[in-house]
Structures are given as C-alpha cells and as structure tokens.
C-alpha cells in the first residue's frame, strides 16, 4: 500500500480536482497546481451525463437542483425530423462551468486537498516537476492539463494523429428553457447544442470545421432555434476551443499518469468529456492505491471505448448530409432504437451488450431509411 505518498496534480480543471479528491479519499495527500486563478471558465456545453453524475456522487460531490439544472434526455433535430429519448434512470445535470469548479474545489478542501493557484508548471521529468523555477520531487504525478497537455509531451506519451479537428463556441442566453432535455440541431456543416443550465438560462454551442463560425452567425442556419432565442439577452462572453478525437496508445509512464482531456479526447458533440474525466479519476486513484498503473491503462481503455464509438457514429453523421438525414429519419421512425442508443450513450447499458446482429440490422435499416 502506498497511502502515505504524495500526489501532485497539474491542472485544476474538472479532471484534476476530481483526481485529487479520489486520491485523498484513498489516503493520499494531493496538491493541485494551476497556472490560472479561479473561477476558470472554458468553452463547454456543461452537460454531465447520468454516469458522470454517478461518478461525482462516488467522489462525495452531490449536485442538487440549486447547483445544477437537470436534463432528462436528448433530442436530435434537423429541418425534417425530430427524435427524442429520455434517460432510463436518473437525469443528467448541467452546472455552469465556474460553479462546477467551485463545487469541486469545496469538496476537495473538505478532504484536505491543497491548491496552488497561479502556479504554472514549466517542466516535468521522472522525479521532479518545476514551478516558479523551483524543482520539487513527487511520488506520483497526474497530468490533468487539458487537451494540449504539456505534461503529455514532457512524459513522452505521444498521441496518435488527432482526427477530425473541429471548433466549438459557447454562449449563455437568458431564456426559460423550452425543453427538459439537451437539444442537438443538425445542419449542413455544423451542429448547434442547447443545454438548459438554469430555470432562466440556456447554454448554446456551435460545432463546425470553420474556426470563424460563431453562435450568432450559426443561428441564421437554424431558424427554429433562432426564433426560440429571439430577444434573449446574452448572459456570458462567447468562448471557443478546438475539439477532436485524440487517442493515446498509453496514458501512463513511470510514476506519471494522465487524466481528462490530457489523456485523450472525444468530439465535444458527444457531451462525454466531463463524465470521462470523473470516471478516469476514480479508476486512477484505485490503481495508485494498488501501485498498479497498468490497471489504470486497462480501465482507461474500457472507459473510452463507448464514447469513442459514439464519436465515430456522430462524425459519420456530421460528415455526410445523406447519412445524417437517413440516421435522423431512422431515429424518428424507430424511437426504440434511439432510446437504446441513448441508454448506451448514458452508460445505462454497456456497449458490449450490442450484438453483431444488431449492428447489421442497424446498418441495413440505415440503408433503407
Ligand atoms: C465547445 C465545447 C463543448 C463541450 N461540451 C461538453 C459537454 O456538454 N459535456 C461534457 O462532458 N464535456 C464537454 N466538453 C468537453 C469538456 O469541456 C472537457 O472534456 C473538460 O473540460 C476536460 O477537463 P480537464 O480538466 O481535462 O481539462 P481543462 O478543463 O482544460 O483543465 C485543464 C487545466 O489545466 C491548467 N493547466 C494547463 N497547463 C498547465 C500548466 N503547465 N501548469 C499549471 N496548470 C496548467 C489550465 O489552466 C486548466 O485549468 C466540451 C468541450 C468543448 C470544446
């Protein structure tokens, strides 16, 4: 057992704080360093899927209705079709990013996690990390420094080629949410994503391959959504970021492990990033306790499998109008199929339960839709 050892976490995003909480709950002493000062905002749809909410609960983080707005399912819409499915169990939750960070910080402080804000880490090797020109030793080091992770580079954990880089922008509007689910509007070359983030507020995001396409311009392509937002005042600054499918052959080396976006990403349209980070945080702390990082490698691969499959499906729809139209028609005409997909997407049903026969049937129906 390794319980007295110290854990240094680089990055106080959701993944880093969750990893520190999980480690301290297993008896480690964690310190989290972040180059920025809280509250740290970031372009994010802010929806946490039900299995992400369950992982947070495991960390002792309980989000009630005053902290995060619930959403009960997902709606896919295009100019012709509407497919809707509800989660089979508990709802997802959508806290504003800055609020989520504060909630995580509060829980981390409760379990004695230490924070160093405004502390940029400038180098990591197999024994020391450097911040403010000081070299400090560590027992375990967790790289939670986001999708452009420098820890990943320093540790030599290179990713396979980044696939399908896209751009996402998000802005909040003061409006009473008209749906109790997350809505995904599919159009030619872009998608819009609406998350109810409060009783009088919704987060609106756009995803495309065009780095110039902002929320206001994209709304011109979605008149039904534009109508719902007509007259709604913006309630936040527009923030943007890139999103892609990035996988790493390995997420650990020596006493270093990566978690969250640093350890690989799926397309943001899937809404999986936060849930992945919380699940990985728990798996990593379990592996640290056993001093068994290969155990984390295996768990990480398993956690990523379904969101990667969902990314592939969504990118297929994103890349071809014909496939997107057929898929949406099929989902509208076969609500049972869309519900089953959502059950897999939200972690209620394992991906492994999908048989080869079902996959063939799905492909065949797509061809006929
Ligand atoms: C437009 C968009 C919409 C999205 N929508 C959703 C959604 O609806 N649901 C969902 O689950 N996910 C969504 N995601 C994905 C989600 O935002 C990410 O998966 C999540 O933020 C990853 O958290 P993280 O902690 O790994 O990284 P980050 O949140 O990026 O945190 C990294 C932290 O590391 C710090 N850092 C970096 N380098 C250093 C250094 N050298 N020294 C010290 N500190 C450092 C940074 O300051 C930062 O605070 C979306 C992403 C985008 C782009």
Same domain, 54 and 114: yes
pLDDT (tens, 9 = 90+) of the chain, 369 residues, equals 444 689 999 999 999 999 999 999 999 999 999 999 999 999 999 999 999 999 999 999 999 878 999 999 999 999 999 999 999 999 999 999 999 999 999 999 999 999 999 999 999 999 999 999 999 999 999 999 999 999 999 999 987 767 789 999 999 999 999 999 999 999 999 999 999 999 999 999 999 999 999 999 999 999 999 999 999 999 999 999 999 999 999 999 999 999 999 999 999 999 999 999 999 999 999 999 999 999 999 999 999 999 999 999 999 999 999 999 999 999 999 999 899 999 999 989 888 777 766 766 777 676 666
- Which residues face 213 on adjacent strands? none
Residue 287: inside a domain = yes
What is the domain range of residue 271?
A: 6-40+50-59+97-162+246-312
Tokens linked to 204:
């609106």
Closest by alpha carbon to 96, among 40, 54, 147?
40
* Domain annotation covers residue 220: no
DSSP calls for 230-286: TTPPB-S--EEEEEEEB--S-SEETTEEE-GGGG-B--GGG--HHHHHHHHHHHHHH
**Ligand 1 centre and the CA of 21: distance in Å?**
17
Q: Which atom of ligand 1 sits closest to the CA of residue 263?
A: 26
Domain termination site, one of 294, 312, 330: 312
Q: Are residues 142 and 255 in the same domain?
A: yes
Asked if 20 and 112 sit in the same domain, the reply is yes
Measure the CA–CA gap between 273 and 49, rounded to whole angstroms: 10
Could you tell me which residues come within 8 angstroms of residue 42 by beta carbon, excluding any fewer than 6 positions away?
A: 13, 97, 239, 241
The Cα 266–Cα 272 span in angstroms is: 7
The answer to whether residues 24 and 59 touch, using CB atoms and an 8 Å cutoff, is: no
DSSP 48: B
250 in a domain, yes or no?
Answer: yes
d(CA 32, CA 43): 22
Separation of alpha carbons 300 and 286, rounded Å: 12
Domain boundary among 295, 312, 329: 312
Given 312, 329, 353, the domain boundary residue is 312
Q: Is residue 341 part of a domain?
A: yes
The verdict on 17 and 110 lying in the same domain is: yes
Q: Are residues 23 and 107 in the same domain?
A: yes
* Domain assignment of residue 152, yes or no: yes
Q: Are residues 126 and 102 both part of a single domain?
A: yes
**Which residues line the pocket of ligand 1, CB cutoff 6 A?**
10-16, 33-36, 40, 42-48, 120-121, 144-146, 150, 168, 170, 205, 241, 243, 260-262, 268, 271-275, 277
Domain tally, the chain? 2
**Is 184 contained in some domain?**
no
Instruction: Assess whether 121 and 154 both reside in one domain.
Output: yes
Instruction: Judge if 256 and 364 occupy the same domain.
Output: no
Question: Which residue among 8, 33, 40, 44 has the greatest number of ligand 1 atoms within 8 angstroms of its CB, and so is best to mutate?
Answer: 44
Distances (CA, A) of 341 to 193, 331, 354: 18, 9, 10
Alpha carbon of 234 to those of 13, 171, 174, 189, 288: distances in Å? 25, 7, 6, 24, 44
Cα-to-centroid distance, 39 and ligand 1 (Å): 13
- CATH of residue 33: 3.50.50.60
**Does residue 341 share a domain with residue 294?**
no
Asked if residue 361 belongs to a domain, the reply is yes
């Amino acid at each position: 057992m390794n319980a007295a050892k110290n854990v240094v976490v680089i990055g106080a995003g959701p993944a880093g704080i969750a990893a520190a909480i999980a480690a301290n709950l297993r008896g480690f002493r964690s310190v989290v360093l972040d180059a920025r000062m809280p509250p740290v905002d970031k372009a994010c749809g802010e929806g946490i899927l039900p299995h992400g909410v369950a992982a947070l609960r495991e960390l002792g983080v309980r989000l009630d209705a005053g902290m995060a707005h619930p959403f009960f399912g997902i709606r896919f819409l295009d100019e012709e079709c509407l497919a809707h499915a509800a989660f089979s169990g508990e709802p997802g939750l959508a806290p504003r990013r800055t609020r989520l960070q504060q909630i995580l910080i509060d829980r981390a402080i409760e379990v004695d996690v230490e924070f160093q804000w405004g502390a940029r880490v400038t180098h990591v090797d197999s024994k020391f990390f450097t911040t403010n020109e000081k070299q400090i030793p560590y027992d375990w080091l967790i790289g939670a420094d986001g999708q452009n992770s420098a820890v990943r580079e320093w540790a030599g954990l290179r990713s396979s080629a980044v696939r399908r880089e896209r751009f996402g922008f998000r802005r909040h509007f003061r409006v009473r949410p008209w749906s109790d689910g997350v809505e995904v509007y599919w159009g030619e070359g872009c998608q819009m994503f609406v998350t109810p983030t409060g009783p009088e507020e919704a987060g609106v995001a756009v995803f495309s391959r065009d780095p110039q396409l902002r929320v206001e311009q994209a709304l011109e392509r979605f008149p039904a959504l534009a109508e719902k937002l007509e007259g709604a005042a913006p309630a936040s600054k527009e923030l943007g970021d890139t999103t892609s499918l990035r996988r790493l052959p390995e997420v650990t080396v020596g006493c270093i492990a990566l978690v969250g976006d640093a350890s690989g990403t799926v397309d943001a349209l899937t809404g999986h990033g936060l849930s992945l980070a919380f699940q990985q945080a728990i798996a990593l702390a379990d592996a640290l306790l056993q001093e068994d990082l290969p155990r984390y490698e295996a768990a990480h691969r398993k956690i990523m499998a379904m969101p990667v499959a969902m990314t592939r499906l969504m990118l297929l729809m994103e890349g071809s109008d014909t496939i997107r139209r057929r898929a949406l028609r099929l989902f509208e005409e076969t609500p049972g199929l869309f519900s089953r997909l959502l059950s897999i997407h939200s972690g209620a049903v394992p991906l492994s339960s999908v048989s080869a026969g079902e996959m063939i049937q799905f492909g065949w129906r797509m061809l006929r839709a």
